[in-house]
Structure 1
Amino acid sequence: MELLQDELEYVRTHCEQQFEGSKLVACTSSLVRVELLSHRTNRTMIVCLHIPKDYPQSANILVELKSRVYAEKLISFLTDMLDKCAKQHCGEPQVMQLLRTANQYLVDTPLCVCLDEITQLRSMLAYNDENKLKLRQSKCSVQLLIHGGEYFYRVTATVPDNYPQHCVELHDHESNLPNVLVRFLNGQSKELARQCVEAPLRFTRDEQAKFRPVPSLYTALKFCIAATQDFHMELCPICDQAVLPTNPEEILADENADAFVERVFCGHLFHQGCLKKYLSEPPFPKGGKLCPAKRRHPRSDAAKPVGASGKDKGLQAELGVCGIKLAHDRWVVNIKTAETRWAQKQARQRELEEVVDFLK
């Protein structure tokens, strides 16, 4: 008993000094309770050490861990690790040793706060050895490398100290995809991460008060994985041919080239030449032309179909088409202008045919 009292006195004197941010809640002959990293609420771990009557001569301390932020898988792993540590120091003072081991693990592996998300991401990449998810504990960052055909996309996600209250920061982007798709990946992944921690502006005051941030790492990187894996398989809705060339070196950078890749508001990819031809030829419906793709795009910019009447929407559903109004920042043309241009084009064509007939 005297040995135990000496150990507990040492804990009371040195615990909060040795472990930065720790808080000693209870220290009795039957229980020692410490909050590790208590100054960082999103990474706090509560360590409860239950001391049996015949400790330390013939029994080891019983470890119980509690946390609102760490995954159950991590808590189970760390509990087992501390139990093994206690067995290794049987017959010796164990309290400070166990606290030191737990605190060191939490400090050295800051990414453990998003263990569940990392596990989910790794399961998505397991089928392809070229895909990588590298953890950099020293920088508290995750680097993703994902392949789709011959194309790749690399991005680094840094997990902030106040995660998940603040979203991950995405940077160091690298890819051999066309610029229009790289901009889409960069911008949309950042927007998805932001939406995880910021309430939508359309929310009422009560809804905003109830809003709580959620983890953003999996949401942002899952989108990057799914999009990159699909790009090389997407077909142009007009010509039904692959939008991207098989060889990334054959990508055209000329914005006026027919094979230049364009992404429109509904999310579908088009060859620029196909899109311009489709938009410039009749018929010209009153509400504007709709995307002729056979299905809605899973990564559409539109929350729901727009630009069509109720009758048109029923027809679109029956025919199985995308049904979202075609929109692109480079081609904002109203129906009257499109009809006029088409009429002028047809008039010029007729004039050329008349000249050819006259010369014959």
Structure 2
Amino acid sequence: MDIVNAEISDIRGNCEQQIGNTKIIICSASLVRIDIYPDKPNRQMTVCLRFPENYPGSPILVELKSRIYSDKLLSELTRLIDDYVRDYLGKPQAMLVLRFAQQYLHDNPLCVCLDEIKQLRQDLKTRVACLDLAETNKSDSDSQLKLRQRNSSVELTARGGRYEYRVTATVPDTYPVQCVELTSPESNLPAVLVRYLNGQSREIARQCVEPPLRLSKEELANFRPVRSLYRTLKFCLEATRDFYRELCPICENTVLPVNPDDVVLNDNSDTYVERVYCGHLFHQGCLKRYMAEPPFPKGGKLCPAKRRHPRSDAQTYMGKSSNAASTSKQLDNVVCGIKLAHDRWVVNVRTAEARWAQKQARQRELEEVVEFLQ
């Protein structure tokens, strides 16, 4: 027991001074318990150490506990520590284990969102498998996820056809209480879609940590922030993947050209891309004609798309448990029917009818002139 007592004395005297961001909770021959990052509840991990009978001939027993880090991470880190201390059999191991655990968390700040990163990578693999099975455009499979541990950030490159959208999500020290920060977006998509991706992804992140304004006192007291990394990046991934496949509900041709270099930048052109409140994409010319022709229902024109859009502004993307599978089936079987709304075409029914009547009157006058001249 002499070596155990010596290690206990070493831990009491030197642990907090020599190993940064640690706090001794219990330090005895039967149990050593140390908190790593005790002042950061969103990064805290507890290391429990026990000395076996034939210690140090046998490795020290390690148990990791945390309310923040996933069980998979704790299990993997425990395995790494066990492998590490086997090289030090016959020598003091407790301080080595504490240094190893503290350094691992310091060098890998993205451990706090390990499960979300794994799920994103799984989504990328699943997408590749689906593409191979369907023999569709393989460029979708080029989407990538890169980790930048030094900056505590995740870089996503989402691709759909020849279009791509890149964004960096930085994970703050207070995550998940504070949402990820999305920066450095780059894309060859039309500006209207880039603005949508930028704005909606940031709004999704905000909704993860800020309660809605209209909550009862009880609901507000029960509100808890949720993790925002997976939700925001999955939205960017799925939206970018689907843009180039979307059809204009009027002419039923793809809205985006195959080659990004052919995207129309002139917002007065008929082929300029517009996105409306229900989420659907239109050619501007098609949308103008549809909005200007009868019938003009009292409530306003409704979107004629053959299915609801999965990313409508009229619904949230928070991933709540509202029967996602049945909702997906409903999207395929229901005409959109959401009121068409766009800030460039705010016209009431009477105005629209009057304009149509004037247009028809002018057309009849022209026809009468042509008939008279003939």
The reply on whether 1:242 has 2:258 as its aligned counterpart is: no
The equivalent residue for 2:61 is 62
Distance 1:193 1:318, change over 3 A: closer
Distance 1:226 1:343, change over 3 A: same
Q: Conserved in 2, the CA contact under 8 Å of 1:19 and 1:36?
A: no
Superposed counterparts of 1:163-174, under 5 Å: 163-174=175-186
Aligned to 1:42, the other structure's residue is in SS state: coil
Aligned to 1:346, the other structure's residue is in SS state: helix
The equivalent residue for 2:50 is 50
Superposed counterparts of 1:254-269, under 5 Å: 254-269=266-281
CA distance, structure 2, for counterparts of residue 162 and residue 221 of structure 1: 19
Q: Conserved in 2, the CA contact under 8 Å of 1:288 and 1:335?
A: yes
CA distance, structure 1, for counterparts of residue 41 and residue 19 of structure 2: 15
Aligned to 1:43, the other structure's residue is in SS state: coil
Deviations 1:46-67 (A, max 9, x none): 00011112211x3221110000
Superposed counterparts of 1:127-142, under 5 Å: 127=128, 130-142=142-154
The equivalent residue for 2:243 is 231
The equivalent residue for 1:344 is 358
CA distance, structure 1, for counterparts of residue 209 and residue 123 of structure 2: 24
The equivalent residue for 2:24 is 24
CA distance, structure 1, for counterparts of residue 98 and residue 362 of structure 2: 85
The equivalent residue for 1:73 is 72
CA distance, structure 2, for counterparts of residue 149 and residue 72 of structure 1: 37
Distance 1:180 1:61, change over 3 A: same
Deviations 1:135-177 (A, max 9, x none): 0111000000011001000000000000000000001000000
Q: Conserved in 2, the CA contact under 8 Å of 1:157 and 1:171?
A: yes
Give the CA RMSD over aligned residues. Answer: 1.6
The equivalent residue for 2:134 is none
The equivalent residue for 2:165 is 153
Aligned to 1:12, the other structure's residue is in SS state: helix
Q: Conserved in 2, the CA contact under 8 Å of 1:30 and 1:52?
A: no
Aligned to 1:33, the other structure's residue is in SS state: strand
What is the TM-score when the length of structure 1 is the normalising length? 0.94
Distance 1:130 1:272, change over 3 A: same
The reply on whether 1:280 has 2:288 as its aligned counterpart is: no
Aligned to 1:173, the other structure's residue is in SS state: strand
The AA in structure 1 aligned to 2:234 is K
The equivalent residue for 2:226 is 214
Aligned to 1:64, the other structure's residue is in SS state: strand
CA distance, structure 2, for counterparts of residue 303 and residue 136 of structure 1: 32
Aligned to 1:339, the other structure's residue is in SS state: helix
How many residues are paired up?
Answer: 348
Give 5+ residue unaligned stretches, structure 2.
129-139, 317-329
Q: Conserved in 2, the CA contact under 8 Å of 1:145 and 1:152?
A: yes
Aligned identity (percent) is 62
The reply on whether 1:332 has 2:346 as its aligned counterpart is: yes
Q: Where do 4+ consecutive residues of structure 1 move more than 6 Å?
A: 316-319
Of 344-353 and 316-325, deviating more is 316-325
Distance 1:28 1:20, change over 3 A: same
The equivalent residue for 1:6 is 6
Superposed counterparts of 1:304-343, under 5 Å: 320-343=334-357
CA distance, structure 1, for counterparts of residue 334 and residue 124 of structure 2: 32
How far the C-alpha of 1:21 sits from its partner, in A, is 2.1
Distance 1:10 1:179, change over 3 A: same
Give 5+ residue unaligned stretches, structure 1.
305-315
Q: Conserved in 2, the CA contact under 8 Å of 1:148 and 1:229?
A: yes
The equivalent residue for 1:202 is 214
The AA in structure 1 aligned to 2:145 is L
Distance 1:269 1:141, change over 3 A: same
Q: Conserved in 1, the CA contact under 8 Å of 2:249 and 2:282?
A: yes
Q: Conserved in 2, the CA contact under 8 Å of 1:34 and 1:48?
A: yes
How far the C-alpha of 1:359 sits from its partner, in A, is 1.3
The equivalent residue for 1:100 is 99
CA distance, structure 2, for counterparts of residue 190 and residue 20 of structure 1: 34
CA distance, structure 2, for counterparts of residue 155 and residue 85 of structure 1: 37
The equivalent residue for 2:200 is 188
CA distance, structure 2, for counterparts of residue 121 and residue 231 of structure 1: 19
How far the C-alpha of 1:131 sits from its partner, in A, is 1.4
The equivalent residue for 1:299 is 311
How far the C-alpha of 1:319 sits from its partner, in A, is 8.3
CA distance, structure 1, for counterparts of residue 166 and residue 353 of structure 2: 44
